[in-house]
Structures are given as C-alpha cells and as structure tokens.
Structure 1
Amino acid sequence: MQFLLLIYIDEGLLQALPADEYDTLMRGCLRHADELQAQGTLVLAQQLEPVSQARTLRTRQAQARITDGPFAETRELLAGFNLINAADHDEAMRIAQGFPWSRYGSIEVRPLANMDAERQRVGLAVTATT
C-alpha cells in the first residue's frame, strides 16, 4: 500500500528555533529520508515553498476565483509531504514517527486510493500511467 504523509507545521515554532538547531533537525530528517528511500520505503519527498507563495482556486456557479494564500483556518500550514510504501496503517504511522515534524505541527497519514479501481468503476480503461 502507499500512504501520503502530509507534513503540517506551526511556523512560529520553527521560526523560534535557532538557525543551527533547525539545520541539525533538517539534516537528520534528510538523512532519515535517504535511508527510507534506499530501503524502497520512501517513494517521493518534497518540501513546499512558504504559504506566501500559495494560491487557491475555487469555482462556484461556473465562476473561478483565485486568491493569494491557502486561507486555511489553522495555525498549522502544509509544509511538505512524503509518499511511502507500507504494509498497513500501523507501519505507516511508525514510519511517520521517524520524522521530527510532529513536534512542530502534525503529520497526517492517509492511504492513497486505488485509481485503477476508480477508473474501472466509472467505465474507463486502466492505463499504463495510473
């Protein structure tokens, strides 16, 4: 199974860290990610640009509206993600605990849906790219 680890952070907590402490934290996280990738557990990891770079698209009554920022009602902001392979939710949670970010926000662990099954359900052929 594949799971997406959505990394949410409280920017205030990270900004309060001294620069060298943040760098040490990031180095450890990247080394951990490298180990998981070498094991075949980590498929993809990516940090996101700050929320000041985000735009949100909403379409209502056929009218598209683009606004700056995520405008989420939360102090924690989506900062990045990891796509992993895990046998089940319990293993995915154990993998998530290996990253430090839950100390500065939260890590949402969500299984990926089976898109081939969804394609079949709606009457489309399964393609080589899904």
Structure 2
Amino acid sequence: MKYLILIYSNPASRALWETFPPERRAQGLAAYEALDKELTASGEMVASEPLDDPVTAKRVHVTEGRTLTTDGPFAEVKEYLVGFYLVDCATEERAVEIAAKVPEAFMGLVEVRPVTELAALA
C-alpha cells in the first residue's frame, strides 16, 4: 500500500535549524540521504522531493473558464509543507517506522497518510 509521508516546518523549527552549526546541519541532511538510500534499496521509495518556500506558491482559481492566480501560500497557516516521501510498503506500521527517521519527526512535524486508490473512489 502507498503512504504519503508529509514533512512540515514552522517558524520555531526554522529558527532552530538556523542555530545549528554547519556540522549539525550536515548531519540532518545526511539523515535524509541515508533514508533515501534505505528506501531505494528496499524498493519502498516511490518519490521524495523537498518543496520550495511557500512564498513561491501560486494559488489557482478557475471561474467562468478563466484561470486566475495569486502569489503566496494557499492559506495562512502555522505550519507549512516542506517536503514529502511517497512510499509503497506492506503496512501502516512500516510507514510510521519510516516517518520516524525523518529529522523533523522529533518536533512532531511529520504526518503519515494512506493514499486512496482511484478505483476505491469510483
């Protein structure tokens, strides 16, 4: 089954990251590299990407056949999505185990959500 592991940030977690010395930042990035390698080797990796800053987002609205866009994030939120893993693993417990290896998990900023198969929606 596929699971989406969502990684969030907020001003406090961003400020904490900024206080880390270069060696500690390198450790954080190395944790992601190790997780990527583990999931690729196990065949569980479907996709993983970091996301750009929310201020680069475009809100899209279609009305009367016209597409309108506005700059900035979709909504004012305390936390914003900064990246994700899409994994295909046997159980939800395994997805949670993977999510626990994401560095932001120690701050409670990681979410695991099952992916709904399109056939189930029909």
When normalised by structure 1's length, the TM-score is 0.77
SS at the partner of 1:16?
helix
Distance 2:38 2:99 in 1: 14
Q: Would you say 1:77 and 2:75 are equivalent positions?
A: no
Q: Give yes or no for contact 1:29–1:99 (8 Å, CA) kept in 2.
A: yes
1:63-92 CA-to-partner distances (Å, cap 9, x unmatched) read: 543111114232211101101012222221
Structure 2 unmatched ranges of 5 or more: none
Q: Would you say 1:108 and 2:111 are equivalent positions?
A: yes
Q: Give yes or no for contact 1:7–1:79 (8 Å, CA) kept in 2.
A: yes
SS at the partner of 2:60?
strand
Which amino acid in the other structure matches residue 66 of structure 1?
T
Instruction: Give 1:11 shift.
Output: 4.2
Distance 2:74 2:21 in 1: 28
Instruction: Give 1:32 shift.
Output: 1.7
Which amino acid in the other structure matches residue 79 of structure 1?
V
SS at the partner of 1:28?
helix
Q: Would you say 1:65 and 2:34 are equivalent positions?
A: no
Structure 1 unmatched ranges of 5 or more: 122-130
Q: What is the 5 A alignment of 1:88-107?
A: 88-104=91-107, 106-107=109-110
CA separation of 1:108 and 1:8: change in aligned 2, threshold 3 A: same
CA separation of 1:75 and 1:19: change in aligned 2, threshold 3 A: farther
Q: Give yes or no for contact 2:8–2:110 (8 Å, CA) kept in 1.
A: yes
Distance 1:60 1:88 in 2: 41
Question: What is the match of residue 55 of structure 2?
Answer: 52
Q: Give yes or no for contact 1:45–1:83 (8 Å, CA) kept in 2.
A: yes
Question: What is the match of residue 10 of structure 1?
Answer: 10
Q: Could you list the runs of 4 or more consecutive aligned residues of structure 1 that deviate by over 6 angstroms after TM superposition?
A: none
Q: Would you say 1:25 and 2:28 are equivalent positions?
A: yes
Identity score, percent: 29
Distance 1:72 1:104 in 2: 22
SS at the partner of 2:113?
strand
SS at the partner of 2:31?
helix
